[in-house]
Amino acid sequence: MTVTLNRAALRHAKELISKGRTMKDERDDWSGHAPSVDDENAWLEKHGWDEYALWHLGVDVEAGEETKKRYSFPYGDLARVHRCAVISLESRAGQYDHDDIEKAAKELLHELDT
């Protein structure tokens, strides 16, 4: 498993932040704010894999192209960037030594907090 930074997703997140499509929630809110499996599947059916990829800072190029296993480190609820999701992914990225993803999350947090 080789997870790398999804630069297109980082650009997408920054664009959403610049447009105000954010939720400035608290650190531990992500488990309640993350889309359910059913909601995520319905969204995926409507929008497709390319758009789904834009909501994840991590991509595993060794995983199948049209699989959820390929994408990791979600930063939002498929409509808005959530501060709690970015905090969560920053912590997990650091824990698993994904330095480029951790750095990207720090950039997003800075933009969310300014």
The SS3 call for residue 75 is: coil
Compute the average pLDDT of residues 5-28: 94
Give the residue extent of every domain in the chain: 3-113
pLDDT-derived band of residue 28, with 50, 70 and 90 as boundaries?
confident
- Position 25 scores a pLDDT of 85
- Position 26 scores a pLDDT of 78
HEC assignment per residue over 25-44: CCCCCHHHHCCCHHHHHHHH
Angle between helices 99-113 and 7-18 (to 10 degrees): 10
pLDDT digits (tens, 9 = 90+) for 49-100: 999 999 999 999 999 999 999 999 999 999 999 999 999 999 999 999 999 9
| Six token digits for residue 30 | 């992500």
pLDDT digits (tens, 9 = 90+) for 98-112: 999 999 999 999 999
